[in-house]
Structure 1
Amino acid sequence: MLIVMEVSMSSIRMLIAAVVLSALLVACGGTIPITPFVPPDVDFVIGAQAFVPEAQQPDALRTITVPARDEVWVRVTFGSSDADHRFVEIVPTDSSSGLQLETWGQRGRRAELVSRSPLLFGTATAMRAATSTVESQAERSSLSSPWKCFGPCVAERYQSGDVYVRIANAASSSRTVRFYAYGIEAWDTSSSTPSDPTTIHVTAPDTGVSGAIETVDDVDYFVFTCPSTGPWFGEVYLELERSVDAYLGQFELVTVVGTYGVGEVSDLVPCGSSVLVRSPNGTAGPSDASRYVIYAN
């Protein structure tokens, strides 16, 4: 009798748990709710530069010292703007060793974007394995396009509102950084809309088009058109190449006949069909680093 009672009580507990879980699923539209991000006590509150023209450099909004093996939190407010992207960046006054920049939104309990390098940023998961080998000022300044980061930076599509920023210092001594937060126009003019792709007319061998993956959600769409006669009539081979060898972010070319990585020549792609370039693992970078070229042959 005692054993029967124990089984019955266990069954009742399981039934109650199932009812509670079902209620949660119904209330949340079929999903278990995610614990919301609780804003930390911040050390600084900073208003961002809402828009910085291409010919102008952003302003350092504050100098911040991060103690050894410690962290600093900043709340950054972005106002309304015509900018395409919003950047948060730290530029170390000496060594960047041990520094990590993170931005936190309202969607969960971990950083959304992370950077340890002036050439690379990405999702928190993707950045665990991604680091950049380009560290010298000379190498960075030799890259040519309007925007470059000179310290860890992250970027996303521009939207107004607050962003919580964590600056972590794993080094055994303090680090001093200049803090930047600003909005800019997109350097890459390739279309991000599948209904209105960028059109490229193939008229010669190695006809190419450049783009950049400037934010983690960036996708560029293209259509290659061909002459009605000649060697490219009907179909072309496409090949994706990165413009900066040191950039460790990932690209992939998606076509109607297959998906291809950097350096892979596609199968024949029908002229007039849409292709796209994206990052398969959520990595991106400022335009001077994350540029690519698609060649058509």
Structure 2
Amino acid sequence: NETRWIEVTYRALTSSAPMLMVFEVEGGVEGGTRIDVRNDRGRLVVASRSSQRYGRSVSALASSAHVDALTWDGAEDAPSASPAAIVDAWTCLGTCAADRYVAGTYYVSVQNTRSVSQRYDIVAYGRAPSDGNEPNDSPSAATPYRLTFAGDGPSGAIERPGDVDYFRLTCAASFAGPSEGMRLELASSFAGSMVLDADGGTYRVGVATPPVPCGSTVAVRTRDGSAGPAASSVYSILADAVALYAIDAPAQSDPQTPTALGRLVLAPGETQVARLSFGSSTARLRYVEVVGASGVAADGRVLLELRDASGPIGFSTSRQRFASGVGVLAGAEATSIDVEASAISVLYQCLGPCVATRYRSGTVFARVTNTSSQTRSVDLYAYGAAETDRNEPNDSTTTATVVSVGSAGVTVTGAIERMDDVDVFRLVCTGGFEFAMVYVTLETSFPGSMVVRRSAGSTPSAPGQRLEVPCDGTFRVETTDGSAGPSASSRYSVRAW
């Protein structure tokens, strides 16, 4: 049960290639030692009690005097490797820990966790990672990999704590043909909680993803940040081609009665992906919507997620609200109340979960997931539409809607119809009130976090709260989470007096 401390100094290297520093205990009883590695500020770097897995969890070890000192100043160049290859899948001969090579002094505590004496060697050295894809620790540094046959895919290893390996997967014609999609599965025997992040979801080893568009960037990591020598932390991503539902989605002349572009039949828990191609248009908004077939409500039972090549755009499970980011099930919808809509040309309402963004031509992918326990058929809509808020565009102080305020006060209305929309208004006081302060109050029934504030980043006022704004000043209406909705649900009124 004794604990010994070793002081290890790693010197600076001349090579800029990725390197690991490895601490290892060789000899003694298998599994009978535990090591902690701390830097010269006493902060834990890495810990282990295994020859196959290590991480940043803190071990409760008794302190002791430093009893020995080692210095490693060798140099080892990273081996050349193809992006799919693991070179020299190293393993440890005893309890070990490794992390990114950073020159400096470290203190390694080695504890005998058994009740018998053990004789062992302390080994500290540097080595190149076996994963020839490194460094690929961010989306911008993702390793490109072109899939060419069924079951193809890249391999790698999680060799240091907190490592995340990114890959950008493209599809050769021999792999996908006209399918344009892929289904992925992570394979690994690592004892840690290794997962695959793909298209906004997280999938365990052996669990296949829903259809993912070719050209997507995916990542492999461990949930707890653990890692291991390459021989134990090696993994592979296996890919099979899958068809995407391809749709051309031009702007439609009457968005109140758009034409369904296709019907999806979804088994319980099933996800299908549609590729939507938007052409050029003068429309201000780009809508994607799913409506239950034969008038069956889809709210709360179907999750719509919109993505493009750069990542998530927005999601919705409700006809009343959509938001940016990755989809989660929405809560209960708020009860609608009447709000004066004099500045809204048409109170537009989606018939099912929908997402609206500023209109841009190009390709987006709609992921539609049946979250219920029954098979559901939904109609998919994609179209361009005009904003029904006639104050638009009023997204900045230079395009602010002018509001004249006299002794009787005034009410202005609008709607937050697309994600991250901001409606800006400028006050002009009349009737001798040019130097007065104006009280502004927001009213809305939108089931999101809509507020009014004087400027970006200033203290917000929730609906029903009074905000003071000087004459010739501006105020803005927005949502704190960037959510929005069709004008029938996102409409608001602001009373100024």
Distance across 2 between alignment mates of 1:195 and 1:173: 51
Tell me which residue corresponds to 2:449. Answer: 250
Stretch of structure 1 that moved more, 35-44 or 184-193: 35-44
> Do the aligned partners of residues 8 and 100 (structure 1) sit closer, same or farther apart at CA in structure 2, a change above 3 Å counting?
same
> Do the aligned partners of residues 62 and 207 (structure 1) sit closer, same or farther apart at CA in structure 2, a change above 3 Å counting?
same
2:421 aligned with 1:218, yes or no? yes
> Do the aligned partners of residues 279 and 35 (structure 1) sit closer, same or farther apart at CA in structure 2, a change above 3 Å counting?
farther
2:362 aligned with 1:182, yes or no? no
2:350 aligned with 1:173, yes or no? no
Distance across 2 between alignment mates of 1:273 and 1:204: 17
Q: 3-state DSSP class of the match of 1:102?
A: strand
Tell me which residue corresponds to 1:98. Answer: 301
> Which of 350, 371, 385 is 1:149 aligned to?
350
Could you tell me how far 1:134 is from its partner in structure 2? 5.9
> Which of 210, 213, 219 is 1:39 aligned to?
213
Do the aligned partners of 1:120 and 1:286 also contact (CA within 8 Å) in 2? yes
Do the aligned partners of 1:117 and 1:132 also contact (CA within 8 Å) in 2? no
Distance across 2 between alignment mates of 1:132 and 1:148: 17
Greater RCO structure (CA 8 Å; 6+ sep):
1
Distance across 1 between alignment mates of 2:461 and 2:100: 54
2:84 aligned with 1:14, yes or no? no
Stretches of structure 1 that go unaligned for 5 or more consecutive residues are none
Could you tell me how far 1:278 is from its partner in structure 2? 1.0
Deviations 1:42-101 (A, max 9, x none): 4310011324346x5211111211112111110000001101010000001224252111
Deviations 1:17-62 (A, max 9, x none): 9xxx99989x98xxx99866662544310011324346x5211111
2:310 aligned with 1:107, yes or no? yes
Stretch of structure 1 that moved more, 255-264 or 197-206: 255-264
Could you tell me how far 1:228 is from its partner in structure 2? 4.4
What code does the residue aligned with 2:213 have? P
Do the aligned partners of 1:118 and 1:152 also contact (CA within 8 Å) in 2? yes
Do the aligned partners of 2:357 and 2:418 also contact (CA within 8 Å) in 1? yes
Bigger Rg, structure 1 or 2: 2
Deviations 1:113-164 (A, max 9, x none): 1111111111236x6474342699xx9xxxx934210100001000011111
2:441 aligned with 1:239, yes or no? yes
More helix by share: 1
Could you tell me how far 1:215 is from its partner in structure 2? 0.9
Q: 3-state DSSP class of the match of 1:120?
A: coil
Stretches of structure 2 that go unaligned for 5 or more consecutive residues are 1-5, 9-67, 75-97, 104-125, 128-133, 142-163, 169-198, 200-211, 215-241, 339-344
Q: 3-state DSSP class of the match of 2:102?
A: helix
Distance across 1 between alignment mates of 2:276 and 2:461: 39
2:287 aligned with 1:84, yes or no? no
Could you tell me how far 1:286 is from its partner in structure 2? 0.7
Do the aligned partners of 1:95 and 1:175 also contact (CA within 8 Å) in 2? no
Distance across 1 between alignment mates of 2:405 and 2:165: 50
Do the aligned partners of 1:51 and 1:81 also contact (CA within 8 Å) in 2? no
Tell me which residue corresponds to 2:460. Answer: 259
Do the aligned partners of 2:297 and 2:352 also contact (CA within 8 Å) in 1? no
What code does the residue aligned with 1:248 have? P
What code does the residue aligned with 2:449 have? Q
**Percent identity for Structure 1 against Structure 2:** 30
> Do the aligned partners of residues 146 and 49 (structure 1) sit closer, same or farther apart at CA in structure 2, a change above 3 Å counting?
farther
Tell me which residue corresponds to 1:293. Answer: 493
Do the aligned partners of 2:428 and 2:472 also contact (CA within 8 Å) in 1? yes
Stretch of structure 1 that moved more, 75-84 or 188-197: 188-197
> Do the aligned partners of residues 217 and 67 (structure 1) sit closer, same or farther apart at CA in structure 2, a change above 3 Å counting?
same
Distance across 2 between alignment mates of 1:271 and 1:64: 54
Q: 3-state DSSP class of the match of 1:288?
A: helix
Q: CA RMSD in A?
A: 3.5
Distance across 2 between alignment mates of 1:258 and 1:235: 17
What code does the residue aligned with 2:424 have? Y
Q: Give the structure-1-normalised TM-score.
A: 0.80
2:404 aligned with 1:201, yes or no? yes
Could you tell me how far 1:205 is from its partner in structure 2? 3.1
Distance across 1 between alignment mates of 2:403 and 2:100: 66
- Segments of 4+ in structure 1 off by > 6 A? 9-12, 21-25, 32-35
Q: How many residues align?
A: 276
More strand by share: 2
Distance across 2 between alignment mates of 1:216 and 1:23: 32
What code does the residue aligned with 2:380 have? F
Distance across 2 between alignment mates of 1:184 and 1:240: 27
Do the aligned partners of 2:429 and 2:471 also contact (CA within 8 Å) in 1? yes
